[in-house]
Amino acid sequence: MGKFIVPDLPYSYDSLEPYIDAMTMEIHLTKHHAAYVNNLNNAIAGTDLEAKTLEELLANAGMLPAAVRNNSGGHFNHSLFWSIMGKNKGGNPTGKLADEINSTFGSFENFKNEFSKAATTRFGSGWAWLLVKNGKLVVSSTPNQDNPLMDVAEVKGTPILGLDVWEHAYYLKYQNRRPEYIENFFNVIDWDAVAKRYENAL
CA atoms within 13 A on the CB side of 77: 32
User: pLDDT of 62-79, one tens digit each?
Assistant: 999 999 999 999 999 999
pLDDT > 70: what percent of the chain? 100
The three-state secondary structure class of 151 is coil
Distance CA 195, CA 200 (A): 9
The whole-number average pLDDT for the span 109-127 is 98
Query: For residue 1, what pLDDT band results from cuts at 50, 70 and 90?
Result: low
Residues forming a β-bridge with 164: 127
Question: How high is the mean pLDDT of the chain?
Answer: 97
Contact yes or no for 92/194 (Cβ under 8 A):
no
pTM: 0.97
The whole-number average pLDDT for the span 146-159 is 98
Distance CA 17, CA 14 (A): 5
pLDDT of residue 38: 98
Residue 36 sits at the vertex; the CA angle it makes with 41 and 112, to the nearest 5 degrees, is 140
Nearest partner of 70 among 172, 161, 166, judged by Cα? 166
Query: For residue 84, what pLDDT band results from cuts at 50, 70 and 90?
Result: very high
Which sign, positive or negative, has the C-alpha torsion 64, 28, 108, 88?
Answer: negative
